[in-house]
Amino acid sequence: METVFDPEGFRVELRTWLRDSLPGVWGGARPPVRPSEADDMAMRKRFDQALYAAGWGALSWPVAYGGQDAPVEAERVLAEECAAAAAPERYNRIGLGIVAPALIHYGSATQKERYLRPLLAAEEIWCQGFSEPNAGSDLASLATRARLVDGRWKITGQKVWTTLSTIADHCFLLARTGGPDSGHRGITAFIVPMDQPGVTIRPIRQINDSTEFSEVFFDDAEPADEPVIGEVDRGWQLAMTVLSYERSTNLLNRQTRLSVTVDALRRAVRDQGPEAPEVLVDDLVDVWIRSEALGCAVREHLAEMADGLPPSIGNNATKVYWSETYQALGDVGLALRGITTDAGGGLLDEEPDWYLYYLGSRAASIYAGTDEIQRNIIAERGLGLPRYSA
């Protein structure tokens, strides 16, 4: 007899677990107000490991790979409760959100057995080698090349904006295996160990002082044993599939955290903010409306997945809407942060640090596919409009 998922029962169980487990994850009663990047990453890793130990690291994965075969609704409940409890974001998020779908859908039995459980347990960390200096949103023009030399693949080229590359054990990398003009028909997906000769990592310091991503150089670097995910020269279809997951299930976590932040900001202004100008209050109401609409869109995407449908073009539209809402929230939060109250203190003295939040939001319309490219995809593939040509 099939077990029926009880979302509210799971919510109660999860809420209790978070209450009991998070102090150990944080290293105290509450997370530090402004942890260093190293402390933040350490908290994230402890949280991934705690979720794995509890059996909740990947609820909707097959049991054979460490999951629970739970419906995607369980992932929504997990995301909502983690956001409400101020749990850290996932540490191995590239592996969980991008690499795991690639391995589950396209990987061999050996690859699944070798990589999925260490990924889920945060024992092996992954980065994603897609973007290049001249091939970001136009990914089909990538130039990093893989060639067979005496039966072994050799990879040469450069990747950029490679998140988590400084701590990653493996890179999920796209390289050209076809001719120079093969476009998307000559791309292959590889597993590449990061700790080897021929891999050079140069961190990029961001405007918010983070060095979370880097540029990575490959000079005859060798992929792992059984290195190809899927088929040679068929990596484009694989990449498009996993990127659609990045804009669907990954978006769930971003949306829930944004909604929690919006609600906290509304409460702060309501309780402490008669000094806030009416125009900023109106802007905050607009952001709240947008966040509610965003939540409805994400729930619709999850319902489609629950029905067995692949991620749709609607996910691209939702990603654009999320990035614009995130940036609008950063604008409002930073503006309200500068207002002082009659009592002499700041209107917003609580977390998040709105200055850093604002700076972080600027990249939202670029990563995971720029808003401009997303609109082209929506127009051409979703609405059937003709391709633009200058």
Q: What is the DSSP letter of 108?
A: -
pLDDT in tens, 100-119: 999 999 999 999 999 999 99
Query: Above pLDDT 70, what percent of the chain?
Result: 92
Mean pLDDT confidence for 272-287: 81
How confident is the model at residue 344, as a pLDDT? 47
How confident is the model at residue 30, as a pLDDT? 77
Helix (H, G, I), strand (E, B) or coil at 205: coil
pLDDT in tens, 345-379: 556 655 567 888 888 898 888 887 788 888 988 88
How confident is the model at residue 1, as a pLDDT? 43
pLDDT in tens, 127-161: 999 999 988 767 888 999 999 999 999 999 999 99
How confident is the model at residue 324, as a pLDDT? 95
Nearest to 36, CA basis, from 258, 169, 211: 211
pLDDT in tens, 231-273: 999 999 898 888 776 666 677 888 899 999 999 888 878 876 6
325, HSE (Cβ side, Cα atoms, 13 Å): 26
Q: How confident is the model at residue 334 (pLDDT cuts 50, 70, 90)?
A: confident
Q: Which domains does the chain have, with CATH numbers?
A: 7-91 (no CATH), 126-233 (2.40.110.10), 247-382 (1.20.140.10)
Q: How confident is the model at residue 199 (pLDDT cuts 50, 70, 90)?
A: very high
How confident is the model at residue 294, as a pLDDT? 92
Catalytic status, residue 246:
yes
pLDDT over 80 (residue 305) = no
* Catalytic choice (75, 124, 212, 246): 246
Mean pLDDT confidence for 306-330: 86
Helix (H, G, I), strand (E, B) or coil at 333: helix
46, HSE (Cβ side, Cα atoms, 13 Å): 18
pLDDT in tens, 29-47: 777 667 788 889 999 999 9
Q: How confident is the model at residue 5 (pLDDT cuts 50, 70, 90)?
A: confident
Which pair of tokens denotes residue 327?
């940036």
Query: Above pLDDT 90, what percent of the chain?
Result: 55
The mean pLDDT value of the chain amounts to 88
Which pair of tokens denotes residue 252?
């769930």
pLDDT in tens, 80-95: 999 999 999 999 999 9
pLDDT over 90 (residue 122) = yes
User: What stretches of the chain adopt beta strand conformation (E)?
Assistant: 126-129, 145-149, 152-163, 170-176, 187-193, 199-203, 213-221, 228-229
User: Where is pLDDT greater, at 296 or 340?
Assistant: 296
Which pair of tokens denotes residue 251?
């978006």
DSSP codes, 153-186: EEEEEEEEEEETTTT-SEEEEEEE-S-TT-GGGG
